[in-house]
Structure 1
Amino acid sequence: MSDKSKNSERVAALRPAYQADLADGTDRFFAPRRTTCPWCESDGLTTRLHTTDLLQHKPGRFSLDRCTDCGHTFQNPQLTAEGLEFYYRDFYDGLGEQRMSGTFGGRTAMYRDRAEAMVPHDPTPKNWLDVGTGHGHFCEAARTVLPGTCFDGLDFTDGVDLAAREGRVEHAYRGAFPDLAPDLAARYDVVSMFHYLEHSTDPDRELRAAHEAVRPGGHLLIEVPDPESRYARLLGRWWLPWLQPQHLHFMPVANLRRRLTELGFTVVAEQHAEPHDPVDLLAAVWLTLDHTAPRDDAPWLPEPPGALRRTLRTALLLAGVPALLTATLLDRLAIRPLSHRLGLSNAYRLVARRE
């Protein structure tokens, strides 16, 4: 049986459960709408963005609000625990596991760069906890930069168990970081959060957990999307780092620096050019094409696509190949060297020492 046939069978087997989940609509997946900013409690909110799920195309509409006082951007209304389970399901695991493992596994140079960001501040950390480690690909690559470091991984999905089985992490912790932090108190020279904090329902609680897990004199390494990137405004809903509905909070760098200082950290490095991932235009073109084309088969759709829909989808995506190639060249050759100077960096990285 071909891989395509196997995937069709898996989708068909999952369809009844998804259709049952959606029988009463999506309202129960959302908490009540907030009237104040979750970062500073200001009531000065303005709507920044309305969008849909542009990656999996699961049903639902999502809004991002921005605080006019502190600049914090957040999903409003925010997903409930039931909503998070529904929208994460089959993205990193299940149907999406093979695709995401291939995506993350092919980014070795980026992972090495992240590990090298710690070298000027601690060239020989004994132990490192990667929070939100996924399948552990960062830890595997970072070991080539820091061969004497023991890398542990923490995640709330079964990807962390896979990381342990594959030998990418020494120890795997599965669950919510704030719940596990008391048992990890002052254990780590380095705690990293790479594109993790924006997924959390309560970023401040995660930062307090990190302060607990990092030993005095140790470091916290954070990388998150930059909501102040010009790309965020220029590309609108097609800016990949918005990643709705998974990304719940977007912190301007000044906000995060201030909160880390309040918790007892000293920010020793801030980077914008280095963590920039040159995919903005490519991703925007792909999201637009994928959104315009007829949907591919998925269990949250009432029925599989017919032959005509599949043919139309293939034709449109093939027609978009020149645009995808052009976007790739612009991202990597024209814009990447100037991304920070032009204010287009799509992420920032902070290194903070626990005093």
Structure 2
Amino acid sequence: MTAPAAPSVRRLRSTARAILRFPEPESWLDVDTGDADFPEAARVFFPYTAFDGLDPTPRVLHAQAVERLEEGYQGRLTDPWITAHLRARYDVVSLLNPLADPGELQAALTVLRPGGHLLVESPGDPRAELESRGCTIIATTRRSAHVPARLTARLPRTLPPPVTGPLASAARALDHTLALLLAGTRFARTYRVIARKEPSAP
């Protein structure tokens, strides 16, 4: 399955390039990072940025072990211990999957430093909510949707490696097929929004 990888890398790098208009961030948190494919792609443009990742699965810990991430945190952004531990730590936070939890935007702003930038890709338009939380919208575009690794992320955590290896390969192949099937449908468009957290934001 090496052939589908190149378009995915191009897509991820396209997303990362949206932040090039700003000074290189010191620290960046990628939410629902999985295997840290996005930080790995973004590092081409931001070689001096420390990339951390957050994911509900143990894949984030493996990504840290193979040095795709500086720090990997297993959990969800809305977990109180996560927001308390990471409060005001990051210059950029990226949310590249549909927002399932309405509290996720607020949690992202909690871990973002004043003056930092939130990069959101979502089927819904988050601008009104971000503005209501004291953010300034810097840029908005519509683009083909990033389809998250839905099946890969749901693999059982307790299976031994001889079992999870083939399962992970099959899940990645099905996730790629899903992305192709969704292309051209109403699910294939998403908002990309960059918002700045103002110092006055709560």
| Equivalent in 213, 217, 222 of residue 111 of structure 2 | 213
Q: Within the alignment, does 1:136 sit opposite 2:4 as a pair? A: no
Amino acid in structure 2 at the alignment position of 1:115: A
> In structure 2, what is the Cα distance between the partners aligned to 1:269 and 1:118?
10
Measured in 1, the distance between the counterparts of 2:106 and 2:187 equals: 30
Q: What letter corresponds to residue 135 of structure 2 in structure 1?
A: F
Q: Does 1:191 align with 2:93?
A: yes
**Maintained 8 Å contact 1:152/1:170:** yes
Q: Distance in 2 between matches of 1:111 and 1:212?
A: 25
Amino acid at match of 2:112: V
Match of 2:24 in 1: 124
Give the structure 2 partner of residue 171 of structure 1: 71
Q: 1:350 corresponds to which residue?
A: 193
Q: 1:104 to 1:347 in 2, by over 3 A?
A: farther
Match runs of 1:224-303 below 5 Å: 224-225=122-123, 251=124, 253=125, 256-272=126-142, 275-277=143-145
Q: For the structure 1 residues 187 and 222, does the alpha-carbon distance in structure 2 shift closer, same or farther, using more than 3 Å as the test?
A: same
Aligned-residue offset at 1:147: 0.7
Distance 1:168 1:153, change over 3 A: same
In structure 1, distance between residues paired with 2:137 and 2:76: 25
- Distance apart, 1:220 and its partner CA: 0.4
Partner letter of residue 189 of structure 1?
D
* Counterpart-to-counterpart distance in 1, 2:146 and 2:112: 31
Report whether the alignment pairs 1:108 with 2:6.
no
Do residues 149 (structure 1) and 86 (structure 2) align? no
Whole-angstrom distance in 1 between the partners of 2:146 and 2:33:
22
Q: CA RMSD in A?
A: 2.9
Deviations 1:209-237 (A, max 9, x none): 11111100001000013xxxxxxxxxxxx
Give structure 1 stretches of 5+ with no counterpart: 1-98, 226-250, 280-323
Deviation at 1:276, TM superposition (A): 1.3
1:182 matched to 2:78? The reply is: no
Identity of aligned residues (%): 40
Instruction: Give 1:319's aligned residue.
Output: none
Q: Secondary structure at the residue paired with 1:107?
A: helix
| Cα contact 2:98–2:122 (8 A) shared by 1 | yes
> 1 or 2, which has the higher helix percentage?
1
Counterparts of 2:190 and 2:112, CA distance in 1: 23
SS in 2 for 1:130: strand
5+ long unaligned stretches in structure 2: 148-176
CA distance in 2, matches of 1:129, 1:171: 9
Q: Give the partner amino acid of 2:88.
A: A
Larger Rg: 1
> 1 or 2, which has the higher strand percentage?
2
Native 8 Å contact 2:144 2:188 kept in 1: yes
Q: Separation in 1 of the partners of 2:9 and 2:89?
A: 27
Q: Does the CA-based 8 Å contact 1:105-1:137 persist in structure 2?
A: no
Alpha-carbon displacement from aligned partner over 1:226-252 (angstroms, at most 9, x marks no partner): xxxxxxxxxxxxxxxxxxxxxxxxx2x
